[in-house]
Structure 1
Amino acid sequence: MSTPSKTCVSFTNMITLKKIVKSFVYKNQVWLFANQITNWFVNAAKSLPLLSKYINLPKGYYASSVEYWQLCQTKNLNDVTYTKFLPPSVSQRSSPKSISGETHWKFDGRYIHSNPETFVISIANGRVIGNAGTVITHDDRFLYDVSGIESSEHHVFPYFKLPKCKQVSETVAVLATGAGGKYFHWLLDALPRLEIIKKALPKGLDSIDKYIVNRGISAIPESLEILGISSNKLLFCDSNFHIQPTSLVIPSLPGSIGDPPAWVCKFLRENFLKNKADINTPSRLYISRAKAEYRRVKNEKNVVKCLSNYGFTAVYLEEHSFTMQIALLSNAEVIVAPHGAGLSNLLWCNPGAKVLEIFSPNYVNVCFWAIANQIELEYFYLIGHGKKSVDYFDPHLVHDDINVPIDELTLILKTMLK
């Protein structure tokens, strides 16, 4: 049998390519059409007088709780109250340290940070939907600023019908927030909402019957138990969650997501450091992500070998309880870690401890630098090997694994430890 000519192969490939392109265009057109139909039904449904509590969709959203409260005041709706906790404030940070001559651009503009006002808003006939603790007002709009989200296109809007609503004859407070089932966001975004309720309301926590919390990590019930809130007072939200309590109490988020103000760190340290596990732990720690699903260190064996020369012990924090993690970090003098939730435990370090955070060149997130400044830690960072994007463009490749340059790691360790 003769071999097809290059021209024939090329022609065949062109036909195949055209089929692929045609198929892609067709599928894309179908998707766009389906999306348009969905949007039409959604908008049509919103125009109906029916409430989403029964069959319809939320009618829209309020950008801020104070906007909603002020509107209620003009209508003499006294069953909606707004109580201030702390006024806006400013955080100031010191420069991070590295072996590079220039600071990475992601730190630019972050040396002075504005923290928003914090408050509690209480609503009669309010509802909570879904696994992020989304708040729906009495007039069927969701409350944007207390729902722990970053977009007005919230996940409740694509629903054609919300989950069945359960009536609850109690006063219920919302602690759950977006990503609150993960360690970092539970500690820094969700849990401090408890302190806002405690300090802002006249009766504090005594006025609350139940708390809505995220599902996820064991640290959620464990941390609340330490604060005196037993598991029988918890309502764990999920995608089918939809309740309407007699009174709904919603504290604001404690600050910008991933950028906690000083009072949050103080609250956590004052309440949890005294409950740390009573054990002896190493003074130099390497927090490994070898058991994580993503953002692992590619050359971890070489990294661990290098660090062992300087007396570091590798730890896997997911193997330890909440109080054990507190103990490990509270006794550490030097911490090295790739960027990840384990560094949330910098909260427990003693002022003056040193930390080296290692980033992928395509995912630099400075949230732990912000925490290190609040605790007065000495913060260093190192960028892993790999193709770097141009300055001021963030590819935000959250799952990127990290290749650590051992020579640079050695150099920065010598700088840190001298």
Structure 2
Amino acid sequence: MKTQTKVKKHKFQRHLTLLTEERQRQLKALKTQLIEEQADPLSGMGNSQNNFITKLLDSIPIFRLLRLRQTVHPKEMLGDNVENYEVLFSPERVEFGVNEIDREFLKVCLYYKAEYFARSEIFVCDVVPAYIHIGLGTICSQDFRPIVDSGMQYRVKIARWRLGYFDRLKLLWAEHLPVTAVYIFSLSAENFWHFLYDCVPRIYSAILARSDQKLTVIVPDSLPDSFRELLDCVLPDNFQTIYVPQGSWVKVDRLVMPSYVSRCENGFLPSQYYEYIRNCVFKKYDLTPAKNPTERIYISRNHAKHRRILNEDRIIEYLTNYGFKPVVLEKMSFRQQVELFTKAEIIVAPHGAGLATTLFSGKIKILVLYPETFPTPFFFTQFKGLGQEHYFIVHDQFDENADFEVDMSEFKRVLHEQMKLK
């Protein structure tokens, strides 16, 4: 009997693994399609349906809410549910500025294969009124259509995966907040990289468009203390915060909606955004970047739940000979992390959100250890936007969150032949 139970449990776990991998494949395919469509920012936005019954269902608001499919771009609702549409940055072709190592990365990384990407316009508009899901960041019009911006519409599909029908219906009992609000948080805002590159830049967009307006920033009450610390650094005096329960719906009289400045897994921002965040944090903490940074840092994920390096002892032992010191960012305050990164000369780290903090570093070298064969371009795009040098090693894993063993021979080759480590 016990053997049969173990077999059934193993089959169930294997089934869950296959479902997870299939969901990952679907999401990666969706993101790839999004990147390919960006030459026409509004392509695919209308979700036109050929099926009469589907059209009929989407014409009834309550069924539209349950389906959560009929997305709309703010431009399509001007004069109806959307006002004050202002373009801050026009669409443009953004060159990465690549070298031969970057070209090798572009051959294997997901989503971005060319030496440039197409950025759709960066805008701010008012949605009057608006429903907001706190946590997932889904914004709905008064007739229950999800409002998306062309850079991140795939997130609505993820929201559908995470929101059951009952959770969608909770919108009908949304708490009413009679305020002019800003909501910046994406569905991945619990990850520091996404918080810093997807969420925080939207504050600066709101400042550019509404510099003198008193605004209320709605914040999930689950936001970690270090994230709140950073948010406090970048908010101007005319912005106040209100904390709302994670997972709830709220209705606001007017929502100032900044579009995403980042793109799909792409942290290459207009330079003004980097400068604003840096200057705010340096001023708050009274910090000055080191003129001649000398710190060599290895970021350990030994305390993380996943993506740990199995032969980390060998990595640390080898790097110690070259003046590197291991750090565990989870044990440091946000201020301590910023101060450390301002002194960094070279960073070696496995793929992880801690690398987001190179925004506070200079023109440094970074080696990223990727567990997967086809890595995501978060850090490549971020480093290219910041003028930093991206080096990489990939490994034979499908799951980007898997623990893995670093190929030591390749590790040494990259350090010496490419990075010229002495």
Q: TM-score range by the shorter chain?
A: 0.7 to 0.9
Amino acid at match of 2:165: Y
Unpaired stretches in structure 1, ≥5 consecutive residues: 1-12, 29-41, 388-394
TM-score (norm 2): 0.75
Amino acid at match of 1:144: V
User: How far apart are residue 195 of structure 1 and its match?
Assistant: 0.6
Per-residue Cα deviation, 1:313-362 (whole angstroms, up to 9, x for no partner): 000111112221111111100111111111111211112x1111111243
**Structure in which a larger fraction of residues adopt helix:** 2
Amino acid at match of 2:320: S
Choose the corresponding residue for 1:407, options 406, 409, 421. Answer: 409
Is this contact kept in 1: 2:74–2:125, CA < 8 A? yes
Amino acid at match of 2:128: A
User: How far apart are residue 102 of structure 1 and its match?
Assistant: 5.2
Identity of aligned residues (%): 22
- 1:335/1:94 Cα in 2 relative to 1: closer, same or farther (>3 Å)? same
User: How far apart are residue 131 of structure 1 and its match?
Assistant: 1.4
User: How far apart are residue 47 of structure 1 and its match?
Assistant: 6.2
Distance 1:404 1:96 in 2: 24
Distance 1:381 1:219 in 2: 28
Is this contact kept in 2: 1:282–1:328, CA < 8 A? no
User: How far apart are residue 175 of structure 1 and its match?
Assistant: 1.0
- 1:169/1:110 Cα in 2 relative to 1: closer, same or farther (>3 Å)? same
Distance 1:268 1:111 in 2: 26
User: How far apart are residue 272 of structure 1 and its match?
Assistant: 2.1
TM-score (norm 1): 0.76
Is this contact kept in 2: 1:175–1:213, CA < 8 A? no
Aligned length in residues: 362
Amino acid at match of 1:303: I
Q: Secondary structure at the match of 2:260?
A: coil
Q: Which moved more, 1:124-133 or 1:143-152?
A: 143-152
Alignment-derived partner of residue 39 in structure 1:
none
Amino acid at match of 2:253: T
Q: Secondary structure at the match of 2:85?
A: strand
1:250 aligns with 2:257: yes
Is this contact kept in 1: 2:152–2:263, CA < 8 A? no
Whose radius of gyration is greater, 1 or 2? 1
User: How far apart are residue 110 of structure 1 and its match?
Assistant: 3.8
Amino acid at match of 1:311: G
Alignment-derived partner of residue 90 in structure 1:
93
Q: 1:127-166 to 2 correspondence within 5 Å?
A: 127-145=131-149, 150-153=154-157, 154-155=159-160, 158-160=164-166, 161-163=169-171, 164-166=173-175
Choose the corresponding residue for 2:375, options 356, 364, 367. Answer: 364
User: How far apart are residue 59 of structure 1 and its match?
Assistant: 6.4
Choose the corresponding residue for 1:382, options 375, 381, 393. Answer: 393
User: How far apart are residue 270 of structure 1 and its match?
Assistant: 2.8
- 1:244/1:282 Cα in 2 relative to 1: closer, same or farther (>3 Å)? same
- 1:296/1:157 Cα in 2 relative to 1: closer, same or farther (>3 Å)? closer
User: How far apart are residue 376 of structure 1 and its match?
Assistant: 1.4
CA RMSD of aligned residues (A): 3.6
User: How far apart are residue 43 of structure 1 and its match?
Assistant: 9.8
Is this contact kept in 2: 1:149–1:178, CA < 8 A? no
Q: Secondary structure at the match of 1:290?
A: coil
Distance 1:96 1:338 in 2: 22
1:328 aligns with 2:330: no
Distance 1:247 1:310 in 2: 56
Distance 1:197 1:102 in 2: 37
User: How far apart are residue 128 of structure 1 and its match?
Assistant: 0.8
Amino acid at match of 1:372: F
1:220 aligns with 2:211: no
Distance 1:226 1:248 in 2: 22
User: How far apart are residue 173 of structure 1 and its match?
Assistant: 0.8
- 1:46/1:307 Cα in 2 relative to 1: closer, same or farther (>3 Å)? same
Is this contact kept in 1: 2:134–2:220, CA < 8 A? no
Amino acid at match of 2:93: V
- 1:373/1:135 Cα in 2 relative to 1: closer, same or farther (>3 Å)? same
Q: Secondary structure at the match of 2:70?
A: strand
Is this contact kept in 2: 1:355–1:377, CA < 8 A? yes
Alignment-derived partner of residue 10 in structure 1:
none
Alignment-derived partner of residue 174 in structure 1:
183
- 1:360/1:79 Cα in 2 relative to 1: closer, same or farther (>3 Å)? closer
Distance 2:284 2:338 in 1: 8
Q: 1:268-347 to 2 correspondence within 5 Å?
A: 268-276=277-285, 283-347=295-359
Q: Secondary structure at the match of 1:206?
A: coil
User: How far apart are residue 293 of structure 1 and its match?
Assistant: 0.8
Amino acid at match of 1:250: M
- 1:131/1:59 Cα in 2 relative to 1: closer, same or farther (>3 Å)? closer
Unpaired stretches in structure 2, ≥5 consecutive residues: 20-53
- 1:167/1:50 Cα in 2 relative to 1: closer, same or farther (>3 Å)? same
Alignment-derived partner of residue 118 in structure 1:
122
Distance 1:291 1:93 in 2: 33
Per-residue Cα deviation, 1:128-161 (whole angstroms, up to 9, x for no partner): 1241121110222111328955155333864232
- 1:227/1:138 Cα in 2 relative to 1: closer, same or farther (>3 Å)? same
Alignment-derived partner of residue 366 in structure 2:
355
Alignment-derived partner of residue 390 in structure 1:
none
Distance 1:290 1:96 in 2: 32
- 1:376/1:51 Cα in 2 relative to 1: closer, same or farther (>3 Å)? same
Distance 1:62 1:47 in 2: 13
Amino acid at match of 1:345: T
Distance 1:306 1:232 in 2: 48
User: How far apart are residue 414 of structure 1 and its match?
Assistant: 2.3
- 1:174/1:146 Cα in 2 relative to 1: closer, same or farther (>3 Å)? farther
User: How far apart are residue 248 of structure 1 and its match?
Assistant: 1.4
